[in-house]
Amino acid sequence: MLVLAIETSCDETAASVVLDGTRILSDVVVSQMEIHREFGGVVPELASRKHIEAISLVVEEALVRANVTPQRIEAIGVTRGPGLIGCLLVGIATAKGMALALDIPMCGVHHLHAHLFAVLLDRPDVVFPFVGLVVSGGHTSLFHVKSPLDIQLVGKTRDDAAGEAFDKVAKLLGLGYPGGPIIEEVAQGVDPGSVRFPRALMEKNNLDFSFSGLKTAVLKRVEGLFEVKQRNDRSGSFHPLVPPVRLQEARNEIREVAAAFQEAVVETLVVKGLRCAEKYASEKLVVCGGVAANRTLRRRMTEEAARLGIEPVFPPIRLCTDNAAMVAARADALLAAGKTDDLGFGALSRW
Ligand code: KG4
Ligand code: ZN
């Protein structure tokens, strides 16, 4: 089946044409990162407007690159949620318009299920059932993927997502946005020495995550280091605490804090991911989402998994971050099982 898919849940406008859920004919992603960088995070209203500006061009480009006319598309998949409501609506409205005009079926896709299905685009040999860890800016979730139509959420974060913690801590340290790649770079080759931050909910059998205590521990450490106090912010988000000049002077301390923070996140993800794979007797642990780009996570997960005879599977980075090819892969599985949505379906900010 030739599926056109659309993804607009956050700050990437993406469209893709995929054949039979496995062959990517085109995969177009327009990122708004530069626009949101100056605000230190995604601004929802701005993101929706940018999706409106980009969506037609992105869909057209996906069709051109796939070398297909709209009339050859057999079905449409679109991210229904979870995500930013205004952003989701842009993709859904476009999908509905096209499905109506072309008189073809359409289906709404769960964004996190799409992340899990990204692995099948790269590794069709990954068979069901398997365990998957989706670790991104908005989510840190563990799934037992029993079959394409039976995906159970078995663990999730109780507060911040791992990527969100990277972004907030980078902001706090005055390092910029998005935080993940910057913290990874700053922490590169750094031994955190005596700096050690707490790991939350590590008790046996617990598959949930919590990163807000870690974020606060970093805040306290930085406050102590520079003898400053974070001003009260009702939004709950952090601001750079320290003037850039002093940060430059304290480069080594900042690098140690970044390394200790990264270590705490990575250890938590490795322990819980592998615990989950063991619990469900899964030979493979699929790790996807933007944070799966982290090289320390990849290395540590690979080392620890080997001890347990588990194979960690990381899709290529391009398929880890938000894209529409994964939405097409997921939609293909749903459509093949006769799961379609009519024009009445709406966006779900939480799902
Ligand atoms: O999956 P994604 O592209 O978007 C969604 O949130 O859905 O993930 C973005 C997140 C950001 O929080 C970013 O800081 C984090 O992934 N990230 C990383 C790395 N690259 C991106 N976190 C840690 N290490 C990285 N190398
Ligand atoms: Zn995502």
* Listed range (81-85, 233-237, 258-262) with the worst mean pLDDT: 233-237
- Pocket lining: 291 vs ligand 1, CB cutoff 6 Å: yes
In the chain, the number of structural domains is 2
145 lines ligand 1 (CB under 6 A): no
**Residue 60 belongs to a domain:** yes
Q: Higher pLDDT residue, 223 or 47?
A: 47
Residue 111 CA: nearest ligand 1 atom is: 7
What CATH number did the domain enclosing 210 receive? 3.30.420.40
User: Please, which residues have CB within 8 angstroms of residue 339's CB and are 6 or more apart in sequence?
Assistant: 107, 149
- Summarised one tens digit per residue, pLDDT across range 192-203 is 988 999 999 999
**Ligand nearest to C-alpha 12:** 1
Helix axes 212-226, 162-172, angle to 10 degrees: 10
* Residue 148 Cβ contacting ligand 1 at under 6 Å: no
Co-location of 276 and 332 in the same domain: no
Distance 53 CA to ligand 1 centre (A): 24
Decide if pLDDT at 68 tops 90: yes
Identify whether residues 97 and 237 lie together within a single domain: no
Would you say the CB of residue 114 lies under 6 angstroms from ligand 1? no
Mean of pLDDT values over 57-82: 98
What is the model's pLDDT at position 239? Answer: 60
Tell me if 143 is assigned to some domain: no
- Over residues 240-255, the pLDDT tens digits come to 556 665 666 667 888 9
pLDDT tens-place string over residues 313-344: 999 999 999 999 999 999 999 999 999 999 99
Q: How many CB atoms lie within 10 A of CB 146?
A: 13
Please tell me whether residues 211 and 189 are part of one structural domain.
Answer: yes
pLDDT tens digit sequence for 169-183: 998 888 888 899 999
Mean pLDDT of the 2-18 span = 97
Of all ligands present, the nearest one to the C-alpha of 288 is: 1
The better pLDDT of the pair 184, 42 is held by: 184
Q: Would the CB of 289 count as within 6 Å of ligand 1?
A: yes
Distance, first Cα to last Cα, the chain: 27
Same domain, 331 and 280: no
Give percent of the chain above pLDDT 70.
93
Q: Is the minimum distance from the CB of 83 to ligand 1 under 6 angstroms?
A: no
Residue from 29, 166, 298 to probe ligand 1 pocket by mutation (most atoms less than 8 Å from CB) = 166
Asked, for residue 152, whether it belongs to a domain, the answer is: no
| Span 120-129, pLDDT tens digits | 999 988 889 9
The mean pLDDT of 37-47, rounded to a whole number, is 88
| Residue 148 maps to a domain | no
Q: Are residues 173 and 218 in the same domain?
A: yes
Mean pLDDT on 99-127: 95
Q: What is the pLDDT of residues 141-150, one digit of tens each?
A: 999 999 999 9
179 and 293 part of one domain: yes
167 and 308 fall within a common domain: yes
* Of 224 and 293, more confident: 293
Specify if 301 maps to a domain.
yes
* Continuous H helices in the chain: 33-37, 44-66, 85-102, 111-122, 162-172, 179-187, 212-226, 244-249, 251-279, 295-308, 317-320, 325-336
Indicate whether 344 belongs to any domain: no
User: What residues make up the domain containing 224?
Assistant: 162-314
Model confidence at 308: pLDDT above 60: yes
Of the chain, the percentage scoring pLDDT greater than 90 comes to: 82
Confirm if 152 and 146 have CB atoms less than 8 A apart. Answer: yes
Alpha helices in 228-250, H assignment, sequence order: 244-249
> Looking at residue 34, what is its pLDDT?
87
Average pLDDT on 48-74 reads 98
C-beta atoms surrounding 306 within 10 Å: 11
What is the Å distance from ligand 1's center to 185 Cα?
14
Give the mean pLDDT of the chain: 93
Q: Whose CA is nearest to atom 5 of ligand 1?
A: 137
Q: What is the average pLDDT across 65-79?
A: 98
Ligand 2 centroid–CA 11 distance in Å is: 10
| pLDDT score of 73 more than 70 | yes
Q: Say if residue 112 is in the same domain as residue 169.
A: no
Distance separating alpha carbons of residues 172 and 345, to the nearest angstrom:
40
167 lines ligand 1 (CB under 6 A): yes
- How confident is residue 235, by pLDDT bands cut at 50, 70 and 90? low
Looking at the structure, tell me whether residues 287 and 323 fall in a common domain. no
Same domain, residue pair 178 and 304: yes
pLDDT of residue 233: 54
pLDDT at 72 over 80: yes
Q: Do residues 85 and 347 make contact, with C-beta atoms less than 8 angstroms apart?
A: yes
Which whole number is the average pLDDT over 58-76? 98
In this structure, are 298 and 329 located in the same domain?
Answer: no
Q: Identify residues whose C-beta is under 5 A from ligand 2, the ion.
A: 136, 322
Is residue 279 over pLDDT 80? yes
Q: 186 and 80 in one domain?
A: no
